[in-house]
């Protein structure tokens, strides 16, 4: 697939103010956008993303790491321009006295190396979406809308056609889809998807494949 000429002009005009957020959904395997993805200046990825071995489909560049400081979060050995942490407001309140100790232990980063989104802002995102405990992906989109002129997303499936990630091996995919491993149970994925679809219809955000020529 080749990018339309009008996208190339748009890309040059607002390159420094746009952001591309790559989700972890298996739908990324339907496209080979790696080269085009790496042309963006600001590229955000979610939680336990992987690029090695997937460069042809999702590129290799990452400038912003969005995560929830989750228990099973992979440690990163390289640095990013920004590390944005989204922790549900109730958890921040319950762990208020040691929330940063919790984050630093999970991320292996010092406090000045990441930004924790505030309780009030997290509550605001939940209210906008009309859902509690949003996924890191949805929080990342809402944060990006506030901080960038144009937000483009790719690979946000909300586990609608399967519970696996694009990087899961065959056995792990089977475990997820047979419900041996629970995924997404803490989130209202249907409500989140409906809200993100509404943002797309309203042209508040865009999908990467909207800018491709499939002919």
Q: Is 212 helix (H, G, I), strand (E, B) or coil?
A: strand
Q: Is 44 helix (H, G, I), strand (E, B) or coil?
A: strand
Phi/psi of residue 2, each to 5°?
A: -110, 145
> Considering its fold, how many domains does the chain have in total?
1
d(C-alpha 37, C-alpha 152), whole Å: 11
Long-range contacts of 17-20 (CB under 8 A, 24+ apart): 17/148, 17/149, 17/150, 18/42, 18/148, 18/149, 18/150, 18/151, 18/152, 19/43, 19/44, 19/64, 19/144, 19/147, 19/148, 19/150, 19/151, 19/152, 20/44, 20/152, 20/153, 20/154, 20/208
For 49-104, the pLDDT digits (tens) are 999 999 999 999 999 999 999 988 998 988 999 999 999 999 999 999 999 999 99
- Supply the pLDDT for residue 61: 96
- Tell me the residue range of the domain where 165 lies: 2-213
For 26-41, the pLDDT digits (tens) are 999 999 899 889 989 9
- Position 180 confidence tier, pLDDT thresholds 50, 70, 90: very low
Q: Residue 170: pLDDT above 50?
A: yes
- Position 210 confidence tier, pLDDT thresholds 50, 70, 90: confident
Mean pLDDT over 104-110 rounds to: 95
Shortest CA distance to 114 belongs to which of 148, 75, 82, 140?
82
Q: Residue 11: pLDDT above 80?
A: no
- Position 172 confidence tier, pLDDT thresholds 50, 70, 90: low
Q: Which residue has the higher pLDDT, 6 or 145?
A: 145
Q: Which residue has the higher pLDDT, 161 or 215?
A: 161
- Supply the pLDDT for residue 6: 54
The CATH number given to whatever domain includes residue 173 is 3.90.1480.20
Secondary structure (DSSP) of 62-125: -SEEEE---TTPPP-SS--SEEEE---HHHHHHTTTTHHHHHHHHHT--GGG-EEPPHHHHHHH
For 117-160, the pLDDT digits (tens) are 999 999 999 999 999 999 999 999 999 999 999 999 999 998 66
- Supply the pLDDT for residue 162: 62
| 8 A C-beta contact, residue 66 and residue 45 | yes
pTM exceeds cut of 0.85: yes
Q: Residue 115: pLDDT above 90?
A: yes
- Supply the pLDDT for residue 8: 54
Choose the weakest-confidence range: 45-54, 171-180, 188-197: 171-180
- Supply the pLDDT for residue 214: 46
- Supply the pLDDT for residue 12: 63
Tell me 3's DSSP state. Answer: E
Angle between helices 119-129 and 189-201 (to 10 degrees): 80
């Amino acid at each position: 697939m080749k990018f339309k000429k009008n996208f190339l002009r748009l890309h040059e005009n607002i390159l420094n103010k746009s952001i591309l957020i790559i989700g972890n959904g298996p739908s990324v395997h339907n496209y080979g956008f790696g080269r085009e993805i790496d042309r963006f200046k600001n590229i955000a990825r979610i939680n336990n993303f992987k690029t090695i071995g997937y460069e042809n489909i999702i590129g290799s560049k990452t400038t912003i790491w969005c995560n929830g400081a989750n228990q099973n979060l992979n440690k990163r050995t390289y640095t990013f321009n920004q590390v944005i942490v989204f922790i549900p407001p109730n958890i921040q309140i319950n762990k208020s006295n040691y929330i940063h100790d919790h984050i630093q232990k999970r991320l292996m980063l010092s406090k000045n190396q990441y930004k924790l989104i505030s309780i009030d802002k997290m509550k605001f995102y939940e209210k906008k979406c009309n859902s509690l405990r949003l996924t890191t992906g949805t929080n990342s989109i809402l944060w990006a809308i506030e901080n960038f002129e144009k937000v483009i997303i790719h690979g946000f499936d909300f586990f609608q056609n399967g519970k696996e990630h694009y990087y899961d091996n065959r056995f792990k995919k089977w475990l997820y889809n047979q419900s041996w491993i629970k995924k997404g149970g803490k989130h209202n994925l249907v409500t989140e998807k409906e809200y993100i679809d509404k943002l797309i219809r309203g042209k508040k955000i865009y999908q990467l494949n909207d800018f491709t020529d499939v002919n």
